[in-house]
Amino acid sequence: MKIFEDQKIIAGFSEAFDGDLSFYNMSSERAAEIWQNLPVVRENAMTWPTYGHQVHQDRVFQVTEDTPLFLTEKTDGLITNLADRPIGVFSADCLPLLIWCDRAVAAVHAGWRSACMNIATRAVERFSDLFQVEPADLKTLIGPCIGQCCLEMGDEVYQQFVEADPVWQKFFKKNGKWHLDLRGLNRWQLLQAGVPETGITDFDFCTYCSEKQFFSFRRQRQRNGSMFSFIVRRSR
């Protein structure tokens, strides 16, 4: 697991070495056992993480004290200002974004469909709307995802992006089929939303190419496992 710490923030991207972390597909007992056995969880006495039902849209849901641990909301992003409340997203080619400031954190599942809806910008706007945080005060981790080398798209998908924003065509290359730079697009959307370049850290790995390190839905042609990316703001 790749762990990142920034003062009271702990963020992590799991790898295939950590096992299948698709908690939504397990019994609650088995999921809790796997979570509690992760070294970073044990060392920091983390509670059970909150995650949503991912549907490849652009909703970013606020987690409050009233939000149940086992969330049934359809959402591809979570945001909270609660301390000691881990939140996270699942991926197996899609791009995980972890965003924070000193008052709040967010976890975003930014696959190509959500990226076409500009979910990265939506998450930045939620920091402002909910907590009056300026984009310039945000920091972001861009996690492992499928690279442009392997993310093939048809003409109809390319057209969806161009119709959403003609500028986005610069993140496509044609090599038989269209190839999308999902990482570059999300990074550009963050910058356009006002997040400073110095505040963006990129774990530049292709999940498709790195067969032993990451699960990949496209490589495996089915879902044989998921990575889990999480973030938490500690109270002390």
Model pLDDT for residues 39-77, shown as the tens digit of each residue? 999 999 999 999 999 999 999 999 999 998 888 899 999
Token pair for residue 26? 């397990």
Strand, helix or coil at 160? helix
Statement: residue 223 has pLDDT above 70: no
Please, are residues 73 and 57 in contact by the beta-carbon 8 Å criterion? no
Please, are residues 83 and 100 in contact by the beta-carbon 8 Å criterion? no
Give the model's pLDDT for residue 222: 65
Distance from the Cα of residue 2 to its chain's centroid: 14
Strand, helix or coil at 94? coil
> What are the tens digits of pLDDT across the range 125-134?
999 999 999 9
Residues facing 179 on adjacent strands: 152, 173
State the average pLDDT over residues 93-104.
97
> What are the tens digits of pLDDT across the range 167-179?
999 999 998 999 9
Domains of the chain: 2-233 (3.60.140.10)
Q: What ranges in 19-103 are assigned the alpha helix state H?
A: 28-36, 39-44
Nearest to 51 by CA among 25, 35, 32, 71: 71
Give the model's pLDDT for residue 72: 86
Give the model's pLDDT for residue 211: 87
Please, which pLDDT band fits residue 225 given cuts at 50, 70 and 90?
A: confident
Average pLDDT in the chain: 95
Please, which pLDDT band fits residue 120 given cuts at 50, 70 and 90?
A: very high
Give the model's pLDDT for residue 132: 96
Cα(214)–Cα(229) distance, integer angstroms: 12
Q: How many CB atoms lie within 10 A of CB 167?
A: 12
Residues facing 91 on adjacent strands: 227
State the average pLDDT over residues 16-43.
93
Q: What is the biggest distance separating any 2 CA atoms in the chain, rounded to whole angstroms? A: 53
Distance from the Cα of residue 44 to its chain's centroid: 21
* pTM (predicted TM-score): 0.95
State the average pLDDT over residues 155-168.
96
